[in-house]
Structure 1
């Protein structure tokens, strides 16, 4: 298939309405649009400004519950009040199955006016087998979290499928009922480990990252391809980059963020600010717009910078350590910037990212969601003093930078479409 042949294709991007799922797809979407593909998104109105800013039309959520990172905790307050991981998994199970059913109905409506040739989504999207079966079109899934495959014995110490996947076990199985109702064939044992099932259901699975940041696997699916650091779309660099003169004043700089979903700043941001307030270390904290002004009033010091959001690309080149709750996108960016990490996250699969950070010794896994200020301070000092973390992340970054993510993605998509045709 030539680029001209690819240019005639209609491509629908459809996944969950959260930054962690939408953002990694925007770079690929713009690239395919630039090759002449007709590209559209199916996404929440919450992303209206983002879609307009990158110049891609979208179909808004209609029948499905319009949940996004800002509204999901209001719509499902039990996510906040429940601390038991098993109960949380049951809540997510209910949310994801309902979203799959309703969004599939929306996509059926979209197909009547936009008969797509290809759907591109992310790895946890439960509608993948429904779309493939109903429309008989290929579905490309992008791995925006670590790969959910079987590892060699002893390869790691915190297996994602058992601890963090939204697993559907014996008894009441709403996802099985949905698949059966739509006539989608499946084996009962397959959907116990739902992430692995969805990985295998995709026509093509593009994993963000490289094998060097992956455990050794006994059986890797034939549809899996690594594409390196697939990044969100960024407009051409302007002269208005974020900058603060204190970046030049401090030799040690720590960057801390909890991503866009976690709203409790007491888990990571506040203990980091407390650990370094009035020290010789500059702390740059981004809150995602959660409690920024209150934090500015509570933590006042020349060595603390607290903002809603600062582009990672404007901060990471200056930083000495990155403190994170285990978001995969931020971790990949940290690797690209050769920036060792301090990781503290447990839920929503974040412990799997944190475990990799510790396993490959590109940082320190604190194995908690709520580290003390002392634990954070000690971990940063260890990273600054022990060059093994910097050496390891430099090597991993060099490996990742040998990949051309967009070129590889297009290559694999062309191969898929040729095969399907």
Structure 2
């Protein structure tokens, strides 16, 4: 009976493929660059309308910091959070150059893989369950689709954490690996701005009266860069820098931004202490460190049980063996994992070219992923490893 029911689930997803793709295209065609709040609001309207049409859901729109987020709940308690975003990195007008369309077995368009294809998968996965058991089959599900993820989730982070608190699990509809792997580890992110303070003086007349903040910063950058690779998987990268004000003045101020990624929260803490301990190398100068840990890592332990269940369900569904990968990029799943909520990422569609001109999602992955998400939702709501067999 189990195999029959899972086969039915996959077959139903395959029967929906044309509609899933059409819905993904409809979402892509409402362009939503993160910083354009008007465009993001239009996109939120499109998401809200699709939820009503496909799931009969009365979704709530929540505007924070100008960004519009969409929240749909089934039941009073969040037992399972489905998490995604509808904003993209693409400016208005990109569709004229990269239209949303299926060609040669892939779906193209701005946001196709990151992550409007994943939103369509999530909505239809819930639709499969609702089709079989009505709204009661979704009791305990919350779907949160944010509007500022590509900016680092400045307004939605608190909403995400409040919504996820106490949940049994979070499934993140970000794209999978290039071959459909699930993302079982994500590095944590720390962001810093290191400022050097010196003293200005005329560079030609009396440079000896100045304290060169640029030179002080150069020494600091070398010290910062030396921390890169000091622990396994730790990356420490000085990025954007600024020095001085005019070409004939000893610079009184200089600064550099630093991007840090780590698989370990403990390594993040040690790096934080190390970067704050760097002493100014130029007499009379001073260093100031702003920023700190932005997102804790999604460590393997946070995803292990969910991945094992996804692997089992994929086998039951007759899908190719599911694999997991660790990646350096972060997502909103880092926030939920940081709360201690079991979190599985990369459960959306897959393809390649995210944030690039060749962004695309593999059409052959849409139906299998829809069936897998539905099976996982059913398993979590059913209460355990074999809930999907009920």
By relative contact order (CA 8 Å, sep 6+), the higher-ranking structure is: 2
Higher-Rg member (1/2): 2
The TM-score normalised by the length of structure 2 is 0.28
Greater share of strand = 2
